[in-house]
Amino acid sequence: MEASKKPQLSIDQAPDQDDGVVRALDDRLVIERLTVADERAARVVRERAKSGQPPTETVTKAIEIGARIVDGEGTAANVDYVRAELERGVGKLERQLSALLESGDEALAQRLATTFDGSRDSSVQQQMRDLLIRALNEQRASIGQLFAADDGKNPLADFKAAVVRALQDYRGSQQRENEGNRKRIEELTHQIIELKERDAGNRRIAEAEEAGTRKGRTFEELVYLELDRIAGERGDAAHAVGDASSEAGGKKGDVVIEIDAASGPPAGRIVFEAKNKKLSKNDAWAELNGAMAERDAPFAVLVVAGGEKIPSGTEEVAEYQGNKMIVVLDGEDPDSVGPAYAYRYARARALMAGHSDLAVDAAGVRDSAERAAAALKRANSVRKALTGVTKGAETARGQLDEMIAEVERCLDRIEELIAAADET
């Protein structure tokens, strides 16, 4: 069998040699028992093996890349060697020429000077310089193409690809993180807006509550407590309805009195409207008419916080339109005489309205009511006169008590007339 004519590396190596055996067969390398002591090479092979790349493939690629670099270094070394030899030869030749010139051969000297004149483009020196520059540029371009390639020829191809992948992964991670931050910021912004709206709502509620207190909510409570006390003494039931809607849906009227409701079904209803401000007469009648309609009551009483808040053109404890009355309850110095009188009168009128078939002495009722109102007015005048008085207080108090007793007698007379009519 004819021997192979492909170029081969000599294999005259002892089989037990520690460095192993390397054979170059044409375009292949056969390596046997070769140990490479290089920490970086061992680490690269291990890391590539962990990522799934076979060790033989990693070693093969490393040898290919290293061979290209070593081959390039050899070319550069050869160029440097040639340049050094040329410079040395040129130097020797220059010294010989100098010797010839000194010997007097002027023709030869002129010819050599022309040939080796560095300023001439055709001189040997210039041609050699051009050759060296061209070789260096070609080597530089070759190395640049080697490192710019994207395939396995570039020794940094894997590193470049890894950097690109890392940058892409980082960019994707940043985009996901930015999207998450954007959503969190939107959620926080929404929560902040809700908190602001809730805080604003709380402030509005607090302002409304404060305004309600300023507008008389405390006075409404005072009126309810006073009427509840009076109602309890007479077996009636008082209900604070200022914040409760009626069956008709309205909220007019602050206190509703159910007559005799403490012992059975109510015999009638009265509605009281409390105001801590001055109304006009028309507004007062509108409030009382609305309260009677919404609370199903035949008689209404407007309770105002002070004499200065009585509507213009009206008087305290005077009946208007057959179903209305106005009374004063001083919020600073509450006196129950006026409300008690108005309560008893309104109660009697409500009972009369509920028994329209009764033969009540209307003239007697009207007379007693007028007398009671007159006595109450005189009592109020005396009460006002007592403010700041230090002398004659006992006398004035006796007169006041007598007047109040007169009011009580008049009211008792009205109730007797109603009871007598009920019995017949």
Say if 194 falls within a structural domain. no
Name which of 26-30, 61-65, 110-114 the model is least confident about. 110-114
| HSE value, Cβ hemisphere, 13 Å, CA-based, for 419 | 6
Query: In the predicted model, what is the mean pLDDT of residues 382-390?
Result: 56
Which range scores top for mean pLDDT: 36-45, 331-340, 353-362, 379-388?
A: 36-45
Say if 208 falls within a structural domain. no
pLDDT at 147: 58
What's the total number of domains in the chain? 3
Which range scores top for mean pLDDT: 239-248, 363-372, 389-398?
A: 239-248
Q: Residue 9 pLDDT > 50, yes or no?
A: no
Residue 39, exposed/middle/buried by CB under 10 A (0-12, 13-18, 19+)? exposed
Alpha-carbon span 101 to 29, nearest angstrom: 58
pLDDT at 236: 93
| HSE value, Cβ hemisphere, 13 Å, CA-based, for 351 | 21
Alpha-carbon span 147 to 143, nearest angstrom: 6
Provide the domain limits for residue 11: 1-35
- Model confidence at 326, pLDDT cuts 50, 70, 90, reads very high
Do 84 and 116 belong to one domain? yes
Q: Residue 270 pLDDT > 90, yes or no?
A: yes
Say if 44 falls within a structural domain. yes
Say if 30 falls within a structural domain. yes
Give CA 161 to chain center in angstroms. Answer: 44
Secondary structure of the chain as H, E, C letters: CCCCCCCECCCCCCCCCCCCEEEEECCEEEEECCCCCCHHHHHHHHHHHHCCCCHHHHHHHHHHHHHHHHHHHHHHHHHHHHHHHHHHHHHHHHHHHHHHHHHCCHHHHHHHHHHCCCCCCCCHHHHHHHHHHHHHHHHHHHHHHHHHCCCCCCCCHHHHHHHHHHHHHHHHHHHHHHHHHHHHHHHHHHHHHHHHHHHHHHHHHHHHHHHHHHHHHHHHHHHHHHHHHHHHHHCCEEEECCCCCCCCCCCCCCEEEEECCCCCCCCEEEEEEEECCCCCHHHHHHHHHHHHHHHCCCEEEEEECCHHHCCCCCCCCCCECCCEEEEECCCCCCCCHHHHHHHHHHHHHHHHHHCCCCCCCHHHHHHHHHHHHHHHHHHHHHHHHHCCCCCCHHHHHHHHHHHHHHHHHHHHHHHHHHHHHHHC
- Model confidence at 1, pLDDT cuts 50, 70, 90, reads very low
- Model confidence at 173, pLDDT cuts 50, 70, 90, reads confident
Q: Residue 403 pLDDT > 90, yes or no?
A: no
Query: In the predicted model, what is the mean pLDDT of residues 252-277?
Result: 91
Do 63 and 139 belong to one domain? yes
pLDDT at 250: 79
Q: Are 22 and 30 in contact (CB under 8 A)?
A: yes
Which range scores top for mean pLDDT: 96-100, 102-106, 203-207, 329-333?
A: 329-333
Say if 154 falls within a structural domain. no
- Model confidence at 284, pLDDT cuts 50, 70, 90, reads very high
Do 74 and 3 belong to one domain? no
- Model confidence at 304, pLDDT cuts 50, 70, 90, reads very high
pLDDT at 410: 75
What tokens does 328 get? Answer: 């004063």
Read off the pLDDT of residues 141-169 as tens digits, 9 standing for 90 and up. 776 665 565 666 666 666 667 777 787 88
Alpha-carbon span 139 to 77, nearest angstrom: 11
Do 58 and 141 belong to one domain? yes
- Greater model confidence, 403 or 31: 31
Query: In the predicted model, what is the mean pLDDT of residues 26-45?
Result: 84
Do 122 and 99 belong to one domain? yes
Do 30 and 44 belong to one domain? no
Alpha-carbon span 352 to 165, nearest angstrom: 99
Whole-model pTM: value is 0.42
Do 137 and 108 belong to one domain? yes
Query: In the predicted model, what is the mean pLDDT of residues 109-123?
Result: 61
Read off the pLDDT of residues 51-99 as tens digits, 9 standing for 90 and up. 888 988 888 888 878 777 777 666 666 666 666 766 776 676 667 666 6
* Mean pLDDT, all residues of the chain: 76
| HSE value, Cβ hemisphere, 13 Å, CA-based, for 191 | 6
Say if 373 falls within a structural domain. yes
pLDDT at 33: 80
Q: Are 253 and 294 in contact (CB under 8 A)?
A: yes
Q: Residue 185 pLDDT > 80, yes or no?
A: yes
Read off the pLDDT of residues 187-225 as tens digits, 9 standing for 90 and up. 888 788 878 777 777 777 666 555 554 444 688 999 999
Do 74 and 93 belong to one domain? yes
Which range scores top for mean pLDDT: 273-282, 312-321, 397-406?
A: 273-282
pLDDT at 3: 47
Length of the chain in terms of residues written: 424
Say if 22 falls within a structural domain. yes
Q: Please name which of 227, 274, 226 lies closest in space to residue 252, comparing C-alpha atoms.
A: 274
Do 43 and 105 belong to one domain? yes
Which domain-ending residue is among 132, 149, 166? 149
Do 42 and 114 belong to one domain? yes
Which domain-ending residue is among 104, 125, 149? 149
Say if 82 falls within a structural domain. yes
pLDDT at 215: 47
Q: Residue 283 pLDDT > 70, yes or no?
A: yes
Do 17 and 108 belong to one domain? no
- Model confidence at 183, pLDDT cuts 50, 70, 90, reads confident
Do 128 and 42 belong to one domain? yes
